[in-house]
Amino acid sequence: MSRHITLIIFFTFFCSSLQAQNRDYKFYILKEKGDTLNYIFHKEILTIKLIGSEIDINRKNFPQLFAINGATNVRNVLISAKKITLSDTLHFPHSKIELFADSVVFASSGKSAGYLSIQPEDNPSPRAMQFKNGKQGLAAKTISLHCNKLINQLGEKAILIDVRGGNGQAAGFGENGADGKSLPVVNSKCSLHGCKVSKDQLVWVGVRDAYNRNWRLGTKDWPGDGANGIPGGKPGEGGSGGSVICNGLTIASNVMLSGGKAGAVAQSEPYKGGKGGMPRRAAWWYELGKPNVYRESQDGKDVNNPQAESIEGLSGKILSSSDPKFYITSDYLIFKVNQLRFDYQNITSDKFNQLGREINSLSDDLAKIDVIFLKNASPDDSSKVSTALNELSHYKMQLTSGLDYYNNPMNWVPALSFEVNYLNYKNEISTISQQLFLSSFIISHTTNLQNKVDAATDLVESLQLDNRNIAKNQVTLFAKIPTIKSKLANLQTETASLEAELRLIEQELAEDARDRVSEANHKIAQNKVLKTASTLLKSSPVGQPYAAAVGHVLTEVRKMNKVEQSNFLNSLSPLFQEYKDFDWESIDANWSRFENSQDANESLKLVKEISAILYKDYGKFNQKLDLTEIPQNEYEKELLALKQHSKRYLNIANRIEKIVYERMKITEEIEATLFATFSNLDQIIRNLQAVNGIRTEIAQQSDFLQYNLLKVCSDIIHDGEIRLAKFDYLMTKSYRYRILQDAPKSYDPFFYKKPMMTIIANMQSYRPMSESDYAIIRTLHEQQLLKVSEQVLTQLNYDANYKTLTKVIVIKGQDLKFLNEYGYLNLDLNNGKFFSAYEEDIRIIDVSFNNFKVKNPKNPVEFAELDLTIEHSGTSLLKKNDKDYLFRNAIGKNDRNFWGARYSFQNGQISPFQPSSFQASLIYALLGQNAQNVNLFSTPGALSKFVINKSERGIDNSVITHLTLNITYDCRTIGLSH
């Protein structure tokens, strides 16, 4: 048997009054791969298990548990006991806690009181990053109370359970708005030109003098406005409260279920807007004679911070469990049977009745709840649970019989004489019933097979129904395809129509845009010319400067090409044509001469003449110019018309985009339909494969049952295949008898052939055993056992040649190295090296490891232990009178025969194991409960194969430096009278 290495860390606690109160505890920490809990990624996630009979949970009793109390990497906490008393606070944030008990008591221990809490931790970052929203608090999980009654010793209003949700994270901070930029105040030169401004104003000056020179003061810019305040993020919502699951218990007033509180706002006061730049009131001075343009810098706006939508998260709930009330889990059962095994192997006569009551009580509780506790068992635990149930049944039977050899003092026997036992045995041997080994074997296997057939039938029906549902679903899927195709066709038609309309709009829009832009540009150019002329003419005083202004206009006109000159004159002519007193002919003649003139003096003369003509009615002309200014925003109306066309264009483009999206969704729907179709077909194939697998398993089980049935029947009927009646010891008040008897030769196996073949034929049809079949088996055993018992009991005598000896075997060298390295060592005592050739009928009484040494590691962990066991194969070979006899000690594969010792690294002490309670030989199993009428025990033969196993707890790679086995055995010397 190889050594097992597990990730389970376990500690075992024994209270000071363990033997008196029959109380002990086991505490496990199971590690899983890393995950995130309470916002933090942990390399290891823990599950805690605490199992005991009656446990009082407080810091004094369980320091290891409270050492990790409040840890943020615990996912599950499971506590199972007959009675759980909680007298201290257990807090495992964001965990799931389950209590399995007959009764749960909330009590106090000094300053502490019982309290369960799973409220999640707050976010490690108390506040979100700047401007960010706070994260929502974690939702609490579940506390389950699987118990028959809850006892509250802390008062009706005491809070016992806390499943509040986690608190939300505070919102990220906001920011005050920045102040606007300020500009320097300019006023030093302004007064030289008649500009009067206050010193908190900014002035930009641009003046043109008669000598055509420019100068500027200040900056052509405005002081900046203050920025608005930036709000903080939104506070995180509180997490939801958890659930409390109980079996109809009234605990609403003792539970806190509220959701977590929302996080704090960024700040209670608004974030302020920035101040406007200086100077607060600024001016631009464009030109002399024109009004100044002013602008005031604005302050930024204050902003309030957002609040959480709700003050706290959703409240938790108290739920009523649909599970029946029970406290026995798979962990508790395995633990309890291990405890009973220890008590059973160390029983004394004064504790006999007490142990019997404990076993009966546990058996009664198991009978009430059936096998519900198996729902919490892992696949590895399921086999352990089955073994524990079998072991519990065995202990109950052994204690009921009261004749277990290994669990009574060496010379203890019932207060009945051998003669009385013998008579009772003969009277009751004819009433053997369902405890017979063969009938139990056949019934259990036929029942299991029938259950498998029933389960297979149900599964096949379920799969067939599944296939029918899949077929219906398939029809529905195919029915959707025509509708999808129709929708797709309609969308394609609509798309084509819209695309055509879009092309027409694009064409119309392009043509209209060109016309409108050309017209707008023309009006803008016209406006510019008129504006320029008006400005120049109006700014000139009466007299020579006016002529100079007109000359300037004409000079600028000369720089134009013919088209520009024509446009300019056409723009001016409507203004002049309204005044009939103007000499237009002279103006036109002079203008023509001016255009063709190459002489500067002549040009100046012509300008003066034109000016004189125009000056005749300058006042009215100047007034007309003021009245005919064209608005500068004329072209904006044209642009607005263009935008209206663009809006229609964008609406159609958006519709086409939506149609493309709808077509994509329909394509995805078709793909999903096809995928579902193939998935359905794949599921049908898997269902058919499952049905074939079930049929194959049934066929295999049928073959297995047939083979084992024939084998067992052959073992019983045919001589020599199995050795019956290998009794070891018969205990009386004053004598110990050795009985060795082969199976009788006097019965005819063919006498039972016909009825047994009938039973086999019935079993091939997978029917449970009928009453007639069982009667045949019972009759067969009655007759055969009577013959065996008569021959055995007639040979009872006291053989003085039997001796009890002790042999020392030293394990060393390569054998010891192999044991240390691999954790096991095979030992064959039937190789002629260990026992004398003059010894026969050798049977083991005891094996001990009283002398072995271990190399202690530095600073061993608490509770570190090393176990050494030597296990018998279960098959015994006995040599007597030059004949070999073979019999089986173990009836089933779970019946282990071993001795052992435990070494404690903490104190260096060695504690021997009591020998395991060996199952009796086959004849003892056939007798069942009737074995209480005779003292029949089967000790193993020494000429057999053994395995030494080494196992560790709380330490790895320990080294055994010295190992000695002491084997105590009975034997008979060859040559002495038998």
Instruction: Quick: pLDDT tens for 935-974.
Output: 333 567 888 888 999 988 878 778 899 999 988 887 877 7
What is the pLDDT at residue 379? Answer: 59
Q: Stretch 244-267: mean pLDDT, rounded?
A: 86
Instruction: Quick: pLDDT tens for 170-204.
Output: 999 999 999 998 877 665 444 434 455 554 455 55
The pair of structure tokens assigned to 530 is 């008129």
Distance CA 13, CA 113 (A): 22
Instruction: Quick: pLDDT tens for 604-656.
Output: 566 556 655 555 544 444 444 443 444 445 445 555 555 565 666 667 666 66
What is the pLDDT at residue 117? Answer: 93
Burial, 14: exposed, middle or buried (Cβ in 10 Å; 0-12, 13-18, 19+)?
exposed
Contact in structure between 105 and 206 (CB atoms under 8 Å):
no
* C-alpha of 958 from chain center: 37
What is the pLDDT at residue 238? Answer: 92
Q: How many CA atoms lie within 13 A of 826 on its CB side?
A: 6
269 CB-near residues (< 8 Å, 6+ apart): none
Answer whether the bond into residue 940 is a cis peptide, omega within 30°: no
Contact in structure between 418 and 730 (CB atoms under 8 Å):
yes
What is the pLDDT at residue 754? Answer: 39
The torsion defined by the Cα of 287, 291, 292 and 297, in degrees rounded to 10, comes to -150
Distance CA 400, CA 359 (A): 11
Question: Strands 205-208 and 24-32, how do they pair?
Answer: unpaired
The pair of structure tokens assigned to 371 is 């096998």
Distance CA 137, CA 169 (A): 7
Work out the end-to-end distance of the chain between its first and last CA atoms, rounded to an integer number of angstroms.
39
Other CB atoms within a 10 A radius of the CB of residue 944 amount to 21
Q: Stretch 511-533: mean pLDDT, rounded?
A: 58
Contact in structure between 97 and 116 (CB atoms under 8 Å):
yes
Q: Across 86-90, 220-224, 310-314, 422-426, which has the greatest mean pLDDT?
A: 86-90
Distance CA 206, CA 204 (A): 7
* C-alpha of 721 from chain center: 56
Question: Strands 945-953 and 824-828, how do they pair?
Answer: antiparallel
Burial, 163: exposed, middle or buried (Cβ in 10 Å; 0-12, 13-18, 19+)?
buried
Q: Of 914, 977, 942, 761, which is closest to residue 844 (Cα–Cα)?
A: 942
| Confidence band for 853, pLDDT divided at 50, 70 and 90 | confident
Q: Of 915, 903, 906, 907, which is closest to residue 961 (Cα–Cα)?
A: 903
Q: Enumerate the domain spans of the chain.
A: 9-170, 802-973
Q: Residue 675's beta-bridge partner residues?
A: none
Residue with the larger pLDDT of the pair 314 and 954: 314
Contact in structure between 287 and 191 (CB atoms under 8 Å):
no
430 CB-near residues (< 8 Å, 6+ apart): 782, 786
Distance CA 627, CA 947 (A): 124
The CA angle 275-277-279, to the nearest 5 degrees, is 125
Lowest average pLDDT, out of 62-76, 279-293, 708-722, 962-976, goes to 708-722
Does residue 578 have a pLDDT over 60?
no
Q: Of 167, 114, 109, 122, which is closest to residue 145 (Cα–Cα)?
A: 114
Distance CA 273, CA 227 (A): 6
Does residue 763 have a pLDDT over 80?
no
The pair of structure tokens assigned to 288 is 């002399």
Q: Stretch 500-527: mean pLDDT, rounded?
A: 62
DSSP string, 613-636: HHHTTHHHHHHHHHHTPPPTTHHH
